[in-house]
A and B are shown apart, each in its own frame.
Chain A
């Protein structure tokens, strides 16, 4: 499967724990985007990264959330000290970076905070 791979598909964490969500972009794609989807809501942009660089993090909460896309390996979205309000589906998308090329989405990670 050469698509965007996200893991895990489902993640359960207790309040106060850390959540790590992984995303491997499509082959040949160097741009990664993270979105959050709350129940019955649209996707909210969180962060846009290229290899080793954060391009736009205007949608990221200022505290507890961080993202990286290292030179080697997947992109990681990290949520520290999770709270119930963090429960959502987190989607990763990738693109080759050409202007207005469509984003290709993974199947998401569903985070449940108990």
Chain B
């Protein structure tokens, strides 16, 4: 069975500093990995995905994520945080052999401090 873990419930970072939101995964075979962001009272918005190819994936709003197979991780990063990046971030995985449904982590609340 596939699953993801987001070890941090909350991440605080000062505006302008780099940010990292952590995610590790467990899946049979090669994983398909995703990051989504959720703003208050809204649905999830797609940020980026890793299917195959380069381990560094670039996505929306200046975010990127690095796939590390040996560490089974897919951490989300941004070089310089903005206050508007404050939101709930979800890592998700789908199985390449199964249906296209996603399995989500429990989320990490990012707060960027002005």
**Interface of A with B (CB < 8 Å)?**
4, 31, 33, 35, 41-45, 48, 55-56, 91, 93, 95, 97, 99-108
B: which residues have CB within 8 A of A? 6, 32, 34, 36, 41-46, 49, 51, 90, 94, 96, 99-107
Contacts A56-B99, A102-B34 given: A41-B43 contact, CB under 8 Å?
Answer: no
Minimal beta-carbon separation of A26 from chain B (angstroms): 12
**How many angstroms between the C-alpha atoms of A106 and B38 in the bound complex?**
11
A95→B100 contact, CB < 8 A: yes
Distance between B10 CB and nearest chain A CB, rounded to angstroms = 11
Q: Quick one: closest B residue to A45, CB to CB?
A: B101
A-B contact count (CB 8 A): 61
Give the residues in chain A near B36, CB-CB below 8 Å: 105
Separation of A101 and B34 alpha carbons in the complex (Å): 10
State A67–B48 Cα separation when bound (angstroms). Answer: 29
**Which residue of chain B is the closest to A95 with respect to CB atoms?**
B100
Does the CB pair B104–A42 fall under 8 Å?
yes
Residue of B nearest to A108 (CB): B43
Cα distance, A71 to B53, chains bound together (Å) = 38
Residue among A35, A101, A105 making CB contact with B100, cutoff 8 Å: A101
